[in-house]
Structure 1
Amino acid sequence: MTNYRNVALFVALAAVWGSAFMAIKVGLEYFPPVLFAAIRYDIAGVLMLGYAAYAADRWRPRGRGEWTLVLVGASLMIAGYHAFLFVGEGYDSVTSAVAAVVVSLSPVLTTGFARALLPSERLTPAGIAGLLLGLVGVVVLSNPDPNNLVTSSVVGKSLVFAAAGSFALGSVLTRRIDAELPIETMEAWSMVLGAVMMHAVSVARPSESFAAVRWTPEAIGAMAYLSIAASALGFLVYFDLLERLGPIEINLVSYVAPVFAAVSGWWFLGEVIDLTTVGGFLIIFAGFCLMKREALARELPKLRAAVSRQ
């Protein structure tokens, strides 16, 4: 029964996080992008703070190390990631599926950053090949014109790539900080401070203001879905699966989510899934498998055993 529960939660998480890319596209019709992301995490941050106060040993960080951990998470994993992602998805050429596929590069970049920045990690030739293969997948997905590298298509996808890089770098830097803060507390405060940072960025952008927001039922629905389902509830499921499955298996969510992003984008927005999107996804996934080949090999016997028990 536990295995069925884990599979159900895994699929549900991939579905919610994948369809979140479609919800972002919907909401961008009514909100300025960075302000949209900021309000999303105003709501999600408050919800997560309440959960941290209920479930964690400590709901508030203490000391320089723990606050540094929160600031890194807030600036890179919340503010940097979502500001780049929401602005990038504002380009017509960046469909829900394309955004999800580029973001699926995050585990590859995380491994690359870890092996470059963490003393205990080492980037092997196969690891370098996997990283380069992932980057090739992004180039295939972007399909740039050598004579014009500043088209809206390339710019939009480059912004989403910057989002993936920001999240990956933040994931690695948080591992370098010596602080034992409960993960629920770290996520909650990162969301709150990340929202504050995005509000500051939004104010600095001349094209953004609260006056530009159109509060339609679709806008409220997109905001509620992203804030409650994808952020607050999604991270609670993620924490649960991380503890039960471990980091290798939970990383595979990044490669199931694009399927749901593509289907939801096609169903609700009429987005077309082209061959470059599929090809880029397969190349990025191949890069991930190459970089994680040893860890995946260790996990396969466990997966077979779990399947046989069912």
Structure 2
Amino acid sequence: MRDRCLAVVVAVLWGANFIAIHVGLEYFPPVFLAGLRMLVLAVPAVLFVPRPRVPLRWLVGYGLGFGTLQFLFLFLGMYAGMPTGLASLVLQASGPFTLVLGALLLREKVTGRQWAGIGVAVAGLATIALARAQSAALLPVVLTLLGALGWAVGNLCNRLAQRDGADVDPLHLTLWMTVVPPVPLLVASAVVEGPATGWVATAAVFTRDGLPGLGALVYLSVVATVLAAGIWTVLMRRYPAGLVAPHSLLVPVVGMACAMALLGERPAVVELVAGAVVVGGVLVASAPARGRGERSLATVR
């Protein structure tokens, strides 16, 4: 029961992460915020965390996919008007994207049931995109989907890094991944948003009026990444991935609930129904057949 509760806590922390992004974007330019979030973690990672013994290409690929493309497009999508709760839902497309890329690039076997789940999830996402297109708000959805695709690319590189590495600590790998994104993101910010804009915003969050922005940055970097990812890593080591991963489907539930309660967002009925379809499809696609001897997260340890 304790470990099941921990999995739920992680889902809550990651769901609330979208509120922190919403707040952070009120104080920082989006591309700069994506880079600064990683820079805050990259410096102590280089100084205090042993570099994981994995091929450099997979470490760089993990950082570019998960840490750079995912947050670049997610932050741009939310800055362009993607509702906070809906962003937490659409980002779940990373699950189907990961399965498809794994099948195409790594020749991994995808069962008929998984293809069915992917089809259901895609149908739900297409419904959301169509509903948004009718209100001239399709671009934020597309940007968020590109973020989900970046997450999927990062997932594959993470998997390959752990396959080809030696005694890989997943948390160390995650922390060292943060070394890759700051340079491309901060350079892109300097070009697109202005060389001084982000740093002026950073100085401003250390004032009384800027404290919410500072709190959002701390939450994004420390709570959502180090604390939540640390707990998740422990659970993934302790149990089969198929028992842990489905708990991540609570993230959009928490994200949408927080957005409704704190930001007053009211998704359209069609978006709520399509969202339930997406979550159901991802669950079907990601849940493996339960074998004998698998432990449950409810096991008391």
Q: Aligned pair in 2 of structure 1 residues 44, 234: CA closer, same or farther (>3 Å)?
A: farther
Distance in 1 separating the partners of 2:267 and 2:292: 32
**Higher deviation after alignment, 170-179 or 254-263:** 170-179
Out of 57, 77, 84, the position equivalent to 1:96 is 84
- 1:252-291 matches, cutoff 5 A: 252-291=246-285
Tell me the residue number matched to 1:46. Answer: 43
**Higher deviation after alignment, 279-288 or 77-86:** 279-288
Matched, 1:69 2:58: yes
- 1:6-45 matches, cutoff 5 A: 6-45=3-42
Distance in 2 separating the partners of 1:30 and 1:219: 6
Distance in 1 separating the partners of 2:293 and 2:118: 22
Out of 170, 179, 193, the position equivalent to 2:165 is 179
Q: What is the number of equivalent residue pairs in this alignment?
A: 291
Q: Which amino acid aligns with 1:285?
A: V
Q: Which amino acid aligns with 2:22?
A: K
Q: Aligned pair in 2 of structure 1 residues 68, 211: CA closer, same or farther (>3 Å)?
A: closer
8 Å CA contact 1:48–1:184 kept in 2: the answer is no
Tell me the residue number matched to 1:224. Answer: 218
**Equivalent position SS for 1:239:** helix
Distance in 2 separating the partners of 1:292 and 1:211: 41
Q: Which amino acid aligns with 1:196?
A: V
Distance in 2 separating the partners of 1:288 and 1:15: 18
Q: Which amino acid aligns with 1:221?
A: G
Query: What TM-score results when the alignment is normalised by the length of structure 1?
Result: 0.84
Matched, 1:131 2:125: no
Taking only aligned residues, the RMSD between alpha carbons, in angstroms, comes to 2.7
**Equivalent position SS for 2:248:** helix
Tell me the residue number matched to 1:154. Answer: 138
Out of 171, 178, 189, the position equivalent to 2:176 is 189
Q: Deviations over 1:62-108 (max 9, x none)?
A: 5xx5211210111111011110111111123x222101111112122
Q: Aligned pair in 2 of structure 1 residues 123, 7: CA closer, same or farther (>3 Å)?
A: closer
Distance in 2 separating the partners of 1:219 and 1:96: 16
Identity %: 23
- Residue 306 of structure 1 and its aligned partner are, at CA, apart by 4.1
Matched, 1:78 2:67: yes
Distance in 2 separating the partners of 1:145 and 1:102: 12
Q: Which amino acid aligns with 1:246?
A: P
In structure 1, the gaps of 5 or more residues are 54-58
Tell me the residue number matched to 2:240. Answer: 246
Q: Which amino acid aligns with 1:11?
A: V
8 Å CA contact 1:49–1:185 kept in 2: the answer is no
- 1:54-65 matches, cutoff 5 A: 59-61=50-52
8 Å CA contact 2:62–2:153 kept in 1: the answer is no
Tell me the residue number matched to 1:56. Answer: none
Tell me the residue number matched to 2:102. Answer: 114
Distance in 1 separating the partners of 2:293 and 2:94: 22
**Equivalent position SS for 1:104:** helix
In structure 2, the gaps of 5 or more residues are none
